[in-house]
Amino acid sequence: MRVLAAMSGGVDSAVAAARMVEAGHDVVGVHLALSRNPQSYRTGARGCCTIEDSRDARRAADVIGIPFYVWDLAERFHADVVEDFVAEYAAGRTPNPCLRCNEKVKFSAVLERALALDFDAVVTGHYARIVDTPDGRELHRAVDHAKDQSYVLGVLTQEQLAHAFFPLGDTVKTEIREEAARSGLSVADKPDSHDICFIADGNTPGFLSKHLGEAPGDIVDAQGNKLGEHSGTHGFTVGQRKGLRIGTPAADGKPRFVLDISPVERTVTVGSRAELAVTGLTASKPRWCGPVPTSELHVRAQLRAHGEEIAVTARLEGDQVLVDFTEPASAVAPGQAVVLYDGTRVIGSATIDAVNRVAAQHA
């Protein structure tokens, strides 16, 4: 097959490309230039998409022995990922930019361009597995659960999976680094990038303040009593405990957590850990990795990138997914994705719009 290898400049994508060459495919490497200012997108292990990363990707391609190109997708990335991130926080939600990047850039813009150039598929260094079955391709969790990235790939459709390869899904990370070293790849010991790639210093509140400005408001409890003030609702996320700067302690002396964010009223509502508990959620914009479910599902769900699975019942009503939890869950943030699993298989995902609170049901 003629395969386009998306090479970030890290060890995972380099080994993924090398494995496709070893499997006998005709591979071309491409680095995605996603930053308008590539000098500013990495500090140590933070971020990605710098000139340094582009050079690392090029060196890896030379070692592997494949052609290499750089595609400038900075404007597309800014519009579909960065601006979406800012807009979601402005609306009081907590987005996942990695998931949005996979949906809008890596497996939309890149795959579309690859197919137009007569490539058969795109390969990336994501930790996930694709399983071919008589009914089509399935997306599954990676063998290395600590590195599993199936959550942020839950937006991929059957058509996109048909043109995707994830060669690292059956291997643990330590073995990937050893394989890279044996192959003479200089990125074998390169630190993994972490946090949000376009916020190189890791200061998300500072980034959002720069883009949204200050919009002071009140921090209140569930009864509406003022407990403190803030400089902008975009500095908070549901479930947050640190950085609330509330002078008045809770009556029981225990920490308070963010329960709700209302940009219109400029209020941040806080409460106890018990008040964070929810029994279900409503989600929209479903994306199915296989056939659209036609009946109620008794499956498991993951509610954030590094969260644990929980048992749920899910059903599709129109363009909404209604999810009921078998046991209450905590700190479920609108804007995040709910990804449904049947064992290790990813069924699909949707964006969380609203939650059903235990406290509200007992009020």
Helix residue spans in the chain (DSSP H): 11-22, 51-64, 74-77, 83-90, 97-101, 110-116, 158-161, 173-182, 204-212, 358-362
* Antiparallel, parallel or unpaired: β 320-329 and 278-288: antiparallel
Q: Is residue 8 within a helix (H) or strand (E), and if so which, with residue range?
A: none
To which residue do tokens 């883009």 refer? 211
Catalytic residue flag (residue 101): yes
* 3-class DSSP string for 214-252: CCCEEEEECCCCEEEEECCHHHCCCCCCCCCCCCCCCCC
Residue pair 38/57 in contact by the 8 Å Cβ criterion: no
Determine the Cα–Cα distance for residues 76 and 82; give it in Å rounded to an integer: 9
Residue pair 152/99 in contact by the 8 Å Cβ criterion: yes
DSSP summary character for residue 139: E
**Dihedral over Cα of 215, 220, 225, 230: its sign:** negative
Determine the Cα–Cα distance for residues 97 and 80; give it in Å rounded to an integer: 9
Q: Which of 48, 49, 98, 197 is catalytic?
A: 197
Determine the Cα–Cα distance for residues 3 and 115; give it in Å rounded to an integer: 10
DSSP string over 251-281: TTSPPPEEEEEETTTTEEEEE-TGGG-EEEE
Q: Which of 48, 49, 101, 289 is catalytic?
A: 101
Residues constituting the chain: 363
The set of catalytic residues is 101, 197
